[in-house]
Structure formats: structure tokens, C-alpha cells
Structure 1
Amino acid sequence: MARLIQMGSRAFRFVSSSKAVIPLLQRLNPEIERPFGSSFIQTRNYISEMRKSAFEENILRILRTEIQCELEIAPPQQPEAEFNSFTVEDRPGEQWIRLRGKYGDEEDIKIEVTMFDGSISVPKSTEDGQTEDTRLHISLIVDVSKGEGCDILEFVCSAWPDELEIQKIFMLKRDGLPARPYVGPDFKDLDDELQNAYQEFLEERGVNDELAVFLHGYMVNKDRTEFIRWLGNVRSFIEK
């Protein structure tokens, strides 16, 4: 037993002295490496870089394939710059567009339009029976003003694939809304005759079902364009 203790003590002294000697030898001879020294770290870094490179190259390959497929199957078209009496201001990289127009000599019309922001399912009859169809939704805000300093008549509308609906009507002041404004009833709660009058008011200014059809076609193209742009931006980031 004493012999085992003596052997263990010598082994402990050897390990302890080795820990002290190695740094001393390294100061005397810098070429002596620590256990698991720089060559080991360099090897690990090299393996990590290889894995990272392979991972990124796989993502880039998928992105390039996706972009190529999108361009071949349904290439985006040059967006329209005008629609009837309106000029169209596209917002590349953003989820909305703006239309501007005039009515007569005094009225300015500004329309801000979102990309597709919702949908509903509606029944559809086919040869095989009843099925469902999806109708995409676009929101738009129509501001009608009469020169600088005048209040704004604002319409919040829904554009469906083949029709435009008024949802709400506001009167806005140029200097902003008061803290707790009265915003009026929902459009559907108004008298039918008054609803028809407001719809005719907008139709007279070119805000009608034809505009809704145009906006849906425009947004289909914009949705495709923005998706391809997004894929390209991600690819460019990874390639850096």
C-alpha cells in the first residue's frame, strides 16, 4: 500500500512539473507547441469553414434555381405607369403603390393601394359539383381634396377581382385628426340612396370596378416582381 502511495506521489510530481516546464520550454524555444496548439485550432477552423462554405453554396444553388424557375415560368412584366387619368407610382421593395389624378380643375385625387392583404372563399359551381374559389382582397385609401388648406374627403375601400366596395368614409383636416374624432357610421349602415350617391361620386372620378380589375392585375405582377427581388437580395447577402 505504501508503495502504491509512493508511486502515485511521483506521478503527481511529474505531471505538476510538466505543467511548469512546458511554458518554460516554450519561452526558451517558441517552436515547441502546446498540446492541442495552433495546428489543432487551425484544423478545426478549416473544417468549420468547409462546412459553412458547403452550407452556403447549397443555399445559393437553391436560390439560383428558384429565381430561374420564376423567370422562366412567369416572368414579371414592366409595370404600367398610367391607368386612365391616373399616374401610377410604383414603390419597389415596398408593399404598396400610389395613384394620382385630378378631377376638373380643382380636385386632387390620391389613392394608396396595398398588395394582396387577405382573401375569402366563395362557392363555385363546376361540372363535378360545388367547390370553392378564392377571391383575393386589396385595400385602398382614396383621398379627394380641393386645393391647399382644404379638408380631405377620405374613402377606405376594398378592391375585389371584379368590383370595388366602399367600407368607410372620413372627413380629415389638413392639420391632422383631433384626439377623439367622430368618424361616422360604417358605409353599409348608411341609407341605400346615400350609398349609391357616394359610389357614383367615386365612379365619376374613375374610382370604380374597372380600377379594381386593373389593381388586381397590377398586384399579381408586383407580387411576382417583389418575390424575385427578395430572392435576389438574399442571394447577394450570402454571396458577400
Structure 2
Amino acid sequence: MSAVRALRQLTASSSRVCAARNANRTFTRAAAAALPAFRAASVPAARAFSVSARRFGEGASDVALAQKLSEELKYEKESAAPSDPDFLTAFKSQGVWKIQDTVGNDEVTLTRKFGNETIRLMFSIVDIQTEQETEFEDGEESAEADEDQPIHSYPIRCSLSITKGSNPGALSIDAMCQDGAFITDNISFYPDAKIGTDLTAEADWKRRGLYIGPQFDTLDVTVQEEFEKFLQERGINDSLAMFIPEFAEYKEQKEYVGWLQNVKSFIDA
């Protein structure tokens, strides 16, 4: 969810609360003054609602909901970025990483070759959705305090795997991408590359019983430094750390527009 859309929702929510309170006071006074007339007309009103509901389909609220979805969809399309924004075009032109982005999925996979190695990096847009929702729940004070923070300051978890051709083993690195840098959490080694890289429930179950290695920050400082050089040489660098959150925002916006279209089509059917 983009920050602009989240702010619009926060403002709209506050407006709806005030409007609901005013409407409730107005309705209470009007209902007290016209109570006899309301009782006399109660039966015909119920019949009119029944006929109207059948005319609209399964519910009288369908038309209003479809209208609101249409308005939101129009707004999002007008403010949407082009299909290939500049940052994405520049990233693709480097020819280093291939992007596997399936419409409707919340995960993105980047892959590349480095010598005899196959490198796969995965991240999810769920992190950006959760972080933005938390920010706006904290209120205006929190927003003002974060004015000086970078645009892409939220953390995104990344899962990296490295395999070597016919070599049966695999390295698995868990890291956090934030503020234009990767922060490594731990590095695991799996003697069986299939267990270390497969995305099946069976492989995940087998991994749970294996030693995942020490916390990265508990390693000797010189070992940490050499590991960081190892990863940077393979393109796990600041440039990639800047790209990931930007692409996550871009994909989340596309998925939201698709969600609006699908839900509206379902309501209209």
C-alpha cells in the first residue's frame, strides 16, 4: 500500500467518524419528532426495500460498493507509475539479475549466474504492507518524528541461496534489507542442495530439524568482513538494497490495482 493511499485512508476514516457522529445526532432528533409517522409507514417501507434488493441482485449495497471501488480504481490508475518506471528500466539494462514476478503472488525472486554458481534472492511485499499500516496506526506524532527518515526506511526480509553446479551443497543466507544496505542475520549450510533450496512443505520440514549456523554478528569480525566482501562481489550490494524496496512499492501498487479490478468485477457480476 503506497504511503499516499494510506494517508488518504487515514483522513477518510477520521472524516467518516465525524460524519457518523453528526448523522447520529441529527437522526435522533428527527426520529423523536416524527415517531408516529415512522410507525405508520414501516410496513410499506419494508416492501419497497425487498423489491429494490431483488432489482439490484443479491444486495441493496452492491451498487454503492461498486461505485466506491470504481472511484478508487480510477484514482489509482491516474496516479500509477508507468509499466516500466525509470528505476526498473535502469536495473534491467544492467543485465545482471533476472526478475521473476508473478501477478497475484506477494513474493518476488531475483536470480543470476556468477561463475559456476546460481544465486537466488527472494523477498515479499508483505513486509512493506505491514510496515506502512503500523506507521499510520501510530498517529500524526510518529509521522512528524519520521520526517527526516529516508523514503525507503522500512525493513524487508530477504532469503538468499547459492548453489554450485554439480556440488551437492547450498549456502542459505537470511538478511534484512533496510536503508540501502543488507544486514545479514545468519548463514546456513545444507549438504543437500535440494533440501536447502526447495520451496516445498517437505523440504521446509526437513530444514527445521537442521542446525542453521551461528548468528552472523557473533562471528569473528574478520570473518564477518570477508563474508560481506563475498556477498558484495556477487551483487548483494548497496545498489541492490536500494532497488528491492523501490520494486516492492511498485509491485504492491500494481497488485492493489489488480485487486480493485477483480473485486469490482465480482461485485458487478
Q: For residue 48 of structure 1, report the CA deviation from its aligned partner.
A: 3.0
The answer on 1:66 being equivalent to 2:77 is no
Please give the TM-score of this superposition, normalised by the length of structure 1.
0.70
Q: For residue 65 of structure 1, report the CA deviation from its aligned partner.
A: 0.5
Q: Pick from 141, 146, 167: which aligns with 2:185?
A: 167
Letter in 2 for 1:87: K
Kept in 1: contact 2:53–2:60 (CA 8 A): no
Alpha-carbon distance in 2 for matches of 1:55, 1:146:
58
Alpha-carbon distance in 2 for matches of 1:75, 1:211:
20
Kept in 2: contact 1:76–1:221 (CA 8 A): no
Kept in 1: contact 2:163–2:193 (CA 8 A): no
Structure-2 residue corresponding to 1:114 = 124
Letter in 1 for 2:74: Q
Letter in 1 for 2:117: E
Alpha-carbon distance in 1 for matches of 2:162, 2:125:
21
**Cα RMSD, aligned residues only:** 2.6
Letter in 2 for 1:142: L
The answer on 1:49 being equivalent to 2:42 is no
Where relative contact order (Cα < 8 A, 6+ residues apart) is larger, the structure is 2
**Structure 2, unaligned stretches of length 5 or more?**
1-46, 136-143, 196-205
Letter in 1 for 2:75: C
> For the structure 1 residues 95 and 179, does the alpha-carbon distance in structure 2 shift closer, same or farther, using more than 3 Å as the test?
closer
| Segments ≥4 residues shifted beyond 6 Å | none
Structure-2 residue corresponding to 1:30 = none
> For the structure 1 residues 63 and 75, does the alpha-carbon distance in structure 2 shift closer, same or farther, using more than 3 Å as the test?
farther
Kept in 1: contact 2:111–2:121 (CA 8 A): yes
The answer on 1:131 being equivalent to 2:160 is no
**Structure 1, unaligned stretches of length 5 or more?**
1-41, 122-129
Q: Secondary structure at the match of 2:122?
A: strand
Q: For residue 189 of structure 1, report the CA deviation from its aligned partner.
A: 1.2
Q: For residue 53 of structure 1, report the CA deviation from its aligned partner.
A: 5.4
Kept in 2: contact 1:95–1:114 (CA 8 A): yes
Alpha-carbon distance in 2 for matches of 1:194, 1:229:
45
Structure-2 residue corresponding to 1:6 = none
Alpha-carbon distance in 2 for matches of 1:185, 1:237:
49
Alpha-carbon distance in 2 for matches of 1:171, 1:74:
42
Q: For residue 112 of structure 1, report the CA deviation from its aligned partner.
A: 1.2
Alpha-carbon distance in 2 for matches of 1:157, 1:143:
11
Q: For residue 78 of structure 1, report the CA deviation from its aligned partner.
A: 2.9
Structure-2 residue corresponding to 1:232 = 261
Structure-2 residue corresponding to 1:153 = 171
Greater helix fraction, Structure 1 or Structure 2 = 2
Q: Secondary structure at the match of 1:48?
A: helix
Structure-2 residue corresponding to 1:27 = none
Q: Secondary structure at the match of 2:173?
A: strand
User: In terms of Rg, which structure is larger?
Assistant: 1
